[in-house]
Structure 1
Amino acid sequence: MCGINGIFSLKNIDHRTHVSHMNKAMHHRGPDDKGIWSSEHITLGHQRLSIIDLSKAGHQPMHSSDNNLTLVFNGEIYNFKEIRQELNYSFRSDTDTEVIIAAWNQWGISCVNRFNGMFAFSLWDKRKKQLTIIRDRLGIKPLYYYFDAQNLVFSSELRALTASSLMNKEIDPSGLSDYLRYQTVQAPNTILKGIYMLEPGSCLQISLEDFKLQKQQWWSIDRCDIVVPDNITEVHEHVRELFYNSVKRRLVADVPFGAFLSGGIDSSAVVGAMSKVSNRQVKTFNISFAEKQYSEAKYAEYIAHMHQTDHTEINLSPIDFLKELPHALNAIDHPSGDGPNTWMVSKATKEAGITMALSGLGGDELFAGYAIFARMARLDQHKYIWKIPVPLRQFAGNALQKLKPGVSSDKLSALLNLREYDYFSQYAISRQVLLDSKVNDLLNYELPDEHLSIQVINKLNLNKKEILTKVSISEINTYMQNVLLRDSDQMSMAHALEVRVPFLDHELVQFILSVSDRLKYPHSPKKLLVDSFPELLPDYIVNRPKMGFVFPWSRWLQKDLYELADHHIQELSKRPYFNQAEVQKLWSAFNKNNPSVTYSRIWPLVVLNHWMERNEIL
């Protein structure tokens, strides 16, 4: 796990100084080693976090034996040892990095189809004078880029990209409206104008000959249907085999490893599988709260005891959190409404001597664990409602808001106001943090006609998919990739901790998305996952109240964190993009416990202003 960056220029300019600044901006991603290499028109930089082959032989940028190919790589190729056996190449290291070079040398760009892993890498071909940048199938590792008539600049982090000083730091209005709607910005867009995130399963190529940026998709989640058994027993067997194989692959490391354990179904399954396939005691880490109603500690303790893990409980009080929060906010690379929880557990995990940890991220998206799955299924079953005349539906929605004010009623009213049943618009509304009417009030400019999230999922071939599979693919391509994975990466790498996600093994993903809805969710969330692992998921875990890996934000924002939040809300309201009175009105409504203004409508605003102040964005 590392950080990569580079600059490819039409003019023959040595960009070592620029890349040095970029490396420095993301030193936290790879404190074990750093490297810069420059040749005609191209400069590549790297920060290394050593996980496999800790020797100097893993130094990057890495060159092929004939010096034609030069690679910078962030991530892990879990099946690199198997691929290595197929290659006719004289290896100088035991790294997966060199396996990428050898595989490219032998098979060209098609080699990525053989890789099982998480990765973002850039490869320079000296003979062709061509640069290729590739991102993994599910977008686990980030890759940002900027392109103009003179330069292609890329990096693992947004702040490292801007540290090159080769582009202006301007807020993108479309990205800002997307952020207010969804507490993030959907790829390929970002919060900054002219800076993009390479989409999952995609590739950029550019050559000196024409200096035109070509983008293509080498893998897509909507085109990975496979034939699966219709017998539930056989399906359970396949799920078990694929998941255990995924966990086993992700334990290949030359450093101490552990796991995040919340005590929920997903993390319990990961820890249980780790304990069965690992030849050493598993180390587990859990965040607990002084407020018992928010604490999942006892469930994590049950699982830790069940599998005899070396368990660490991180007990937090508001005072502890307040002390650490400025550091967590400083670690945010791209603004997001989530993340400090991962920062806290990553900090404790790294301090315990762990360099790599497994996470249960992705289980809810894959196995229909969120409430949005049942909600979207109900909407699909009752699509006839949208044949009722619009005025009658609007009347019903308005009445509901008055009788039972709150976020759910606001969203249902917005759904009833749609002209017709439309999966894409209904999914977008269901996932919104602030509805369009409120975003329109907050901003001083007109909103874009279409949501970025709708644009993202509209590109996918979902028409023939069953409803739960539709939602899974939508969740994976929006919320999971652009909130959960982005936050997991930036918050864990702030501590030079690598996080691996076994639920996102592409072979497992392909299988689960091909399973029928009736087997996946016959009557309760994640039924397929639960029934596949009875030995890992006891009843007291399966049927416990779902709390989620969250902090008691509402209490904290109104008390312990009030001064911090108030400062950033007030400063944000003065910025030229915002309507000052409306921003302050929203903050006041939250503090008066208006049920339509929950903490998740406020915290992203606090984060946004902090991020803009820290990054000196007007």
Structure 2
Amino acid sequence: MCGICGIVSFDRSVDADLVADMVTSLEHRGPDDSAVVVDHGAVLGHSRLALIDVAGGAQPLGSADGTLWVTFNGEVFNYVELREELRSLGHHFTTVSDTEVVVHAYEQWGASCVERFNGQWALAVWDRRRRRLVLARDRMGVRPLYYRVLGRELAFASEVKTLFTDRSVTRELDPAGLKQVWTYWSCVAPSTVFTDIRQLAPGHVATFDDTGLRVDPYWSQDFPERGREASQDLEENAAALREAVTRATRLRFERSDFPVGAYLSGGLDSAVTAATIRHATSADLTTFSVRFTDDEFDEGPYQRLMVERLGTTHHTVDVSHRDIAEVFPEVVRQAESPLLRSAPAPLFLLSRLVRENGYKVVVTGEGADEVLGGYDIYREARVRQFWARDPGSTMRDGAVGLLYPWLARNPGKAPAFARSFFGAGADPTDRAMSHHPRWSSTSALTAMLSPALQSSMAATAVADPAERMPAAAEDWDPLSRAQWLEIATLLPGYILASQGDRMLMANSVEGRFPFLDREVVELASQLPARHKLFGLEEKFVLKRAFADLVPPEILARPKQPYRAPDAPSFFADGVPDWVAEVTSPRALAAAGVFDPRQVAGLVEKARRRSRSFGNTDNMRMVSVLSTQLLHEQLVVGSGLDRPGRLAPRRVVDIRDTEEDA
């Protein structure tokens, strides 16, 4: 895993020193090597985390004739198979790196080569002969890619703060992007929370030349017409899923020149991936877990169960309220977005533990909930559909009580609230019926905003993601529509970004996600909905597929989402100085985002009883703190680790080559 950046201009020479500064800003993503390649009108940069072919995989990497240059962040896990195919077509290789496979694949198939890649990547190809830049991002959005276009010039980078290295770039929060965060929990590509900064959407390719920028999809999530799934046989589907997940896990565990560890959360998904590694390989396994000193959030007993079952070398990080508060400013700086939960902070501490123990790579269970129907939002939608068929039935109250057995304040114990929440908007014809209640409740956060920002947001149109759903979705099962929305919004924008890539790469650790393997995703999408969500039992087919590898205590365990303490982290055990600073009248006025009187009231309430905060107040508190930190760090400040310039280790000047002449 790495950091990539660059600038292409059709009007002027590109400042190579500026791109060198951009590379420096990405050092945490790739501390092992760094370089820039300088051409007329184009400079590419790379900061490398070396995992495959340490000696031969240095980047940016050029083709044999010097006409193509690639800077690549991520992994193409099927690079071995692609290399053999390309050899059969006459290509000659000088390294065993996956990056050289990307170069030859582009030579052979052009930009459509990404359709053949199975992995997680963001890449840039500078095609000197055609004088064009090609950008691409993996199907699910595992790896980030941001860009800024100004006239006939484009700058791109793995992180926003890298684009802010250029002091001429506007640094301000965008009302439209903020409105998306306070509706969908994250921005939906191509939007970001920063004015003039865009992100390439997952599954898309962008081409930039002297005529401008063109962005096209090369992949999109698809589901079969209800009742037209490839197989209706549960055992057959469970066997196919097991084979696909096993193959994906082995690819991610074995294709590295360095040892690979695994996360164990205590839940089903990481238990499956860790058990698969233990069962399908002969390698020793080291595992890593987060534990909480707050018992409400701790999953330690289930983690220990898997460690004993698998016999792994295990490491844990014990996270307290104070630990979350101490690292939260750094977490926000790395996330580059307002947060509605403190959950990324323990994952930052977990990746730091991984790195401190000498590991660069971990396999995790991320993605299973999205592709196999594991989230509460899917189960809530099932109850809402049930409710809509007979709103007056008392059985509906009982169904609500089954949803959150892990939650102390279970809405099933409050029938009036349950009816208002599950009965409202229960329209089976609404494509986004599953998500509109969550989006509506999240939008309540905007009541905290300053009048000026509220007015600006009211005048800002934000498209409903459901409007982008394919026309064929009319014939999908409701679960499929809910999955499509989750994969289009929360997965790339929050789960894989704020909780994933950013918290891992902040400590120079690569995460690998077998459940987001291309074959696994496409197989899962073709399964009947009832095999994924059987009644209210989530990930039914996954449990069936791995019943012999996962202890029954975990298989039968009620779904409990990963959570961390929110408001109590900042108020229950003492208030950090930075909290008072970012919520001061001066800081609030400078940012202009929140109403100071409302923030003062919320802070006072948190000082008195943060432990009894409900869902909305928790989100309000974390939203205020994270947004204020974001303004201080990336709008007022540069967001960079250090001032000044550290030169890249290599500078390759290709301006005087024969091809250029």
Same fold (TM over 0.5): yes
1:256 matched to 2:259? The reply is yes
Name the SS for the 1:331 alignment partner.
helix
Counterpart residue number, 2:600 = 584
Residue deviations 1:121-163 (CA, integer Å, cap 9, x gap): 0101111111110111111110011112131111110111111
Counterpart residue number, 1:560 = 573
Counterpart residue number, 2:635 = 616
Q: 1:97 to 1:594 in 2, by over 3 A?
A: closer
Deviates more, 1:574-583 or 1:441-450: 441-450
In 1: Cα distance, 2:444 partner to 2:112 partner: 46
Name the SS for the 1:146 alignment partner.
strand
Residue deviations 1:285-336 (CA, integer Å, cap 9, x gap): 0111223332211211111111111111222333444444444344333333
Tell whether the 8 Å contact from 1:368 to 1:521 is kept in structure 2 after alignment.
yes
How far did 1:518 drift? 1.8
Counterpart residue number, 1:271 = 274
Deviates more, 1:597-606 or 1:37-46: 597-606
How far did 1:91 drift? 1.2
How far did 1:554 drift? 3.9
Q: 1:525 to 1:566 in 2, by over 3 A?
A: farther
Alignment partner of 1:599 out of 600, 618, 621: 618
User: Which runs of structure 2 are paired with 1:201-600 in the superposition (5 Å)?
Assistant: 201-208=203-210, 210=211, 212-222=212-222, 228-251=230-253, 252-337=255-340, 338-383=343-388, 413=420, 423-424=430-431, 426-432=433-439, 434-440=441-447, 442-444=449-451, 445-446=454-455, 447-448=457-458, 452=462, 454-455=464-465, 458-461=468-471, 462-487=473-498, 488-523=500-535, 524-560=537-573, 562-563=575-576, 564-570=578-584, 573-574=588-589, 575-590=591-606, 591-592=608-609, 593=612, 595=614, 597-600=616-619
Counterpart residue number, 1:17 = 17
Tell whether the 8 Å contact from 2:355 to 2:507 is kept in structure 1 after alignment.
yes
Name the SS for the 2:339 alignment partner.
coil
Q: 1:217 to 1:410 in 2, by over 3 A?
A: farther
Residue deviations 1:331-379 (CA, integer Å, cap 9, x gap): 3333333411210110001110111001111111122211111111222
Deviates more, 1:544-553 or 1:27-36: 544-553
In 2: Cα distance, 1:305 partner to 1:241 partner: 25
Structure 1 unmatched runs, 5+: 388-403
Tell whether the 8 Å contact from 2:344 to 2:503 is kept in structure 1 after alignment.
yes
How far did 1:562 drift? 3.0
Q: 1:187 to 1:588 in 2, by over 3 A?
A: farther
Tell whether the 8 Å contact from 2:567 to 2:622 is kept in structure 1 after alignment.
no
Structure 1 residue identity aligned to 2:506? A
In 1: Cα distance, 2:463 partner to 2:248 partner: 29
Tell whether the 8 Å contact from 1:189 to 1:197 is kept in structure 2 after alignment.
yes
How far did 1:521 drift? 1.6
Residue deviations 1:415-468 (CA, integer Å, cap 9, x gap): 766596663554443333854354145242333478747236634442221111
In 2: Cα distance, 1:175 partner to 1:71 partner: 31
How far did 1:553 drift? 2.7
Deviates more, 1:108-117 or 1:345-354: 108-117
Deviates more, 1:594-603 or 1:459-468: 594-603
In 2: Cα distance, 1:4 partner to 1:507 partner: 27
Deviates more, 1:43-52 or 1:107-116: 107-116
Q: 1:594 to 1:326 in 2, by over 3 A?
A: closer
Name the SS for the 2:335 alignment partner.
coil
* TM-score for the superposition, normalised by structure 2: 0.85
Tell whether the 8 Å contact from 1:144 to 1:196 is kept in structure 2 after alignment.
yes
Name the SS for the 1:423 alignment partner.
coil
In 1: Cα distance, 2:370 partner to 2:146 partner: 24
How far did 1:546 drift? 4.2
Structure 2 residue identity aligned to 1:510? E
Q: 1:449 to 1:429 in 2, by over 3 A?
A: farther
1:175 matched to 2:173? The reply is no
Name the SS for the 2:121 alignment partner.
strand
The number of residue pairs the alignment matches comes to 599
1:186 matched to 2:188? The reply is yes
Q: 1:600 to 1:437 in 2, by over 3 A?
A: closer
Structure 1 residue identity aligned to 2:517? D
Structure 2 residue identity aligned to 1:439? T
Residue deviations 1:558-588 (CA, integer Å, cap 9, x gap): 3225344444334564332332223334444
Deviates more, 1:345-354 or 1:572-581: 572-581
Counterpart residue number, 1:157 = 159
Q: 1:422 to 1:406 in 2, by over 3 A?
A: farther
Percent sequence identity over aligned pairs: 27
User: Which runs of structure 2 are paired with 1:58-97 in the superposition (5 Å)?
Assistant: 58-87=57-86, 88-97=90-99
Tell whether the 8 Å contact from 1:145 to 1:196 is kept in structure 2 after alignment.
yes
In 2: Cα distance, 1:74 partner to 1:277 partner: 28
> What RMSD, in angstroms, separates the aligned Cα atoms of the two structures?
2.8
Structure 2 residue identity aligned to 1:526? K
Name the SS for the 2:53 alignment partner.
coil
Q: 1:328 to 1:407 in 2, by over 3 A?
A: farther
In 1: Cα distance, 2:597 partner to 2:413 partner: 22
Tell whether the 8 Å contact from 1:4 to 1:155 is kept in structure 2 after alignment.
yes
Name the SS for the 2:521 alignment partner.
helix
Structure 2 residue identity aligned to 1:379? R
Residue deviations 1:202-233 (CA, integer Å, cap 9, x gap): 0110223x2x1111000001368895221111
How far did 1:486 drift? 0.5
How far did 1:195 drift? 0.8
Instruction: Work out which structure has the larger RCO, using CA pairs closer than 8 Å and 6 or more positions apart in sequence.
Output: 2
Tell whether the 8 Å contact from 1:341 to 1:550 is kept in structure 2 after alignment.
no
In 2: Cα distance, 1:585 partner to 1:178 partner: 25
How far did 1:176 drift? 1.4
Q: 1:514 to 1:452 in 2, by over 3 A?
A: farther
Name the SS for the 1:58 alignment partner.
coil
In 2: Cα distance, 1:613 partner to 1:405 partner: 41
Counterpart residue number, 1:395 = none
Counterpart residue number, 2:649 = none
* TM-score for the superposition, normalised by structure 1: 0.90
Tell whether the 8 Å contact from 1:405 to 1:595 is kept in structure 2 after alignment.
no
In 2: Cα distance, 1:456 partner to 1:566 partner: 40
How far did 1:525 drift? 1.2
In 2: Cα distance, 1:223 partner to 1:271 partner: 29
In 1: Cα distance, 2:412 partner to 2:532 partner: 34
Q: 1:428 to 1:549 in 2, by over 3 A?
A: closer
Structure 1 residue identity aligned to 2:372? F
In 2: Cα distance, 1:538 partner to 1:604 partner: 38
Tell whether the 8 Å contact from 1:407 to 1:596 is kept in structure 2 after alignment.
no
Deviates more, 1:438-447 or 1:350-359: 438-447
In 2: Cα distance, 1:507 partner to 1:522 partner: 23
Q: 1:326 to 1:310 in 2, by over 3 A?
A: same
Counterpart residue number, 2:397 = none
How far did 1:514 drift? 1.3
Deviates more, 1:271-280 or 1:132-141: 271-280
In 2: Cα distance, 1:162 partner to 1:483 partner: 21
Tell whether the 8 Å contact from 1:272 to 1:536 is kept in structure 2 after alignment.
yes
Name the SS for the 2:156 alignment partner.
strand
Structure 2 residue identity aligned to 1:454? D
Name the SS for the 1:292 alignment partner.
coil
Name the SS for the 1:127 alignment partner.
coil
How far did 1:470 drift? 1.3
How far did 1:65 drift? 0.4
